[in-house]
Amino acid sequence: MEVLIDSNIKVGVKASNREEIFGIIADTAIASGYANNKYGILDGLKAREKQGSTGTESGFAIPHAIGDAIDYAAIVILKLEEPIPFKKWKTLDGKPVDYVISLLAPQGAGSSHLRILSTLSALLVDDDFQVQLKAKATPIEIYKFLRAELAKKAKS
């Protein structure tokens, strides 16, 4: 299965805190056939968050999890309708989270998930990338843009 598919991209997502976001990530992965157990995914996301917040900068968060509840590696993207305030999701720059890019990987995935996470992190430090990504309005626009950017990074 492809790691990135347009049905794993949601725009106009309504959530008031990080835990609601984690639930939407899990539900999305299960609905698309990438995972089999919501609570296993939630446990993985929460465990990773306990190690340190996945809120980065410029409104982005990159929660990720590895576990048996995940059958195939997946990227789930949520563009939020309203930002989640810093007091509910800590970020490196103190800004609220309005864009979530989550990576889920099955137990034993090896280093492939780390490569994807590293690539996503590298893209997210690029101001032009952030602006262009946030300007995309539909799941298919986001999908096409991110797929092209990931392919470019893979070649470099």
**Structural contact between residues 48 and 25, judged by C-beta atoms closer than 8 angstroms:** no
Across-strand partners of 64?
103
Question: 74-84 and 97-106 as β-strands: parallel, antiparallel, unpaired?
Answer: antiparallel
Q: What pLDDT, in 10s, does the model give residues 42-98?
A: 999 999 999 999 999 999 999 999 999 999 999 999 999 999 999 999 999 999 999
pTM: 0.94
- pLDDT > 90? residue 155: no
Residue 6 contacts by C-beta under 8 Å, 6 or more apart in sequence? 139, 140, 142, 143
User: What structural domains and CATH numbers belong to the chain?
Assistant: 6-155 (3.40.930.10)
Distance CA 119, CA 116 (A): 5
- Answer left, alpha or beta for residue 148, where phi above 0 means left and psi between -120 and 50 means alpha: alpha
Residue 97, SS3?
A: strand
Share of the chain above pLDDT 70, in %: 98
pLDDT for res 108: 83
